[in-house]
Amino acid sequence: MRSKIVVIGILAGLLSCLWFSQNASQERSFTVRVPADFERSLSLVVAYEKEPIKGERNETLAAQRNVLDEIISACHTNVDITVLVSSEEAKTRAQQKVEENGVQGDKINFVDLDFNSLWIRDFGAIEIVDSSGAPKWLDFEYFLPGNSWIDDGGNYTGRPADDDAFKKFATLSDINTQKVPLVLHGGAIASNGNGLILISEAVFEWNHHRFDYDEKTTRGLFEQYFPGNQIEFIPPLQGEPTGHLDIFLVFVGEQTVLIGELDSAHDEFNKYRLDRIASRLKDLSYHGDSLNVRRIPMPIRGQQGTIGTYTNVVFANGKLLMPIYTGDESFREQAKAIYREVLPDWEIVEFHSDALMAAEGALHCVTWNNKVQKPDSSKH
């Protein structure tokens, strides 16, 4: 009897090794690659939002435009800049600021294109490269249920021009683009650039509301559009309205990911959620190895004690823009030291981001890194 148990155990071990070998092989042979944020960019794209018809948001928009001006000024020496403009007023204002800030004319390109908002990361395409090296833009649906996209009359407005923007941008630029019948925001996905993709579990709710997909269908469609990749679905923060991962997570290398860290005295539920996410990613088998998971503080902002982010960053070819906030001094230096350690050859630049965080976003949300095929500016 004992010998039978031993034989069974040996067989089980062999089968397990065979499965692991096959699984690892599948992970290495992914057929599309999603470039990582930290990889070299061909250009950095921002969307210079036009003034609203009503005046209530003008002050907020002016502050947000100032952040865009500063991003352009800080990054143009490292990467070419493309500015999408949806009105003559926006174009004139952006051009004036570019000139005032001494931005080199040959490093910036203006593209007239209709869109609704400055949150280009979320309505921007997801870039992929297939096994032959051919680039493509995947144009996902841009949709958010709930009360975030409500006008002054309490009506759900949606953002149809945002949803159509990259289809038009690609047409202007002769870039191969595929429309995808799935909702995905750019802030809800993170890639390490070599076959590991993290996606927010918020996509299950979004796609149920938009297409009536169940979770199994949504999972299957993501596997279809990112074939051969190891896809892990990650829960978003509780109570955080965007459902995005870039609020608390960022890859800084193929094997290294930063995860936000909270104090239980401020937010006990999300502290333990982030701890569980960090533990899960540490235990994750990726190409037969484990990830290097580092923790980075999440700053507490203002009298209301709202949560900020140090992971919502901009990578600009050797220069990293890190968001900072009024009143976050106790966390700021710690976060900056972590980036200096994990990106020793990069320049780390602090960027005040209160105007963006007031609208539940930061630097990553208002930039889009073009990595696989630069649009042809002569066609605009």
Q: Residue 158: what pLDDT? A: 82
Query: E strands along the chain, which residues?
Result: 32-33, 43-48, 80-85, 108-112, 126-130, 135-141, 177-183, 189-191, 196-200, 230-234, 249-251, 256-261, 292-297, 300-301, 306-307, 314-315, 319-324, 347-352, 368-370
Model confidence at 54, pLDDT cuts 50, 70, 90, reads: low
User: Does 146 have pLDDT greater than 50?
Assistant: yes
If one compares 310 and 24, the residue with the highest pLDDT of the two is 310
Measured CA to CA, the distance from residue 367 to residue 96 in angstroms comes to 20
**pLDDT, tens digit, for every residue of 222-280?**
999 999 999 999 999 999 999 999 999 999 999 999 999 999 888 999 999 999 999 99
Closest by CA position to 372, among listed 32, 14, 8: 32
Q: Name the residue with higher pLDDT: 63 or 19.
A: 63
67/2: higher pLDDT:
67
The top-level CATH class assigned to 32-379 is alpha beta
80: helix, strand or coil: strand
pLDDT reading at 92 higher than 80: yes
Q: Select the more confidently predicted residue: 168 or 12.
A: 168
Asked if pLDDT for residue 305 goes beyond 60, the answer is no
Span 81-96, average pLDDT: 94
Q: Which of 22-26, 45-49, 301-305 has the highest mean pLDDT?
A: 45-49
Structure tokens at 139: 């144009």
Q: How confident is the model at residue 378 (pLDDT cuts 50, 70, 90)?
A: low
Determine contact, residues 121/367, Cβ cutoff 8 Å: yes
Q: What is the pLDDT at residue 5?
A: 35
Average pLDDT over residues 361-374: 91
> At 270, phi and psi to the nearest 5?
-70, -25
CA dist 75 and 81 (Å) reads: 8
Give the confidence band of 17 by pLDDT, cuts at 50, 70, 90: very low
Which residues 6+ apart lie within 8 Å of 105 measured at CB?
A: none
Residue 197: which residues within 8 A CB-CB, separation 6 or more?
A: 34, 189, 190, 191, 226, 229, 230, 231, 232
Angle, in degrees to the nearest 10, between helices 202-211 and 215-225: 100
Tell me what the mean pLDDT of segment 58-72 comes to.
Answer: 90
| Three-state secondary-structure class, residue 279 | helix
Is the pLDDT assigned to residue 27 strictly greater than 90? no
Is the pLDDT at 30 greater than 70? The verdict is: no
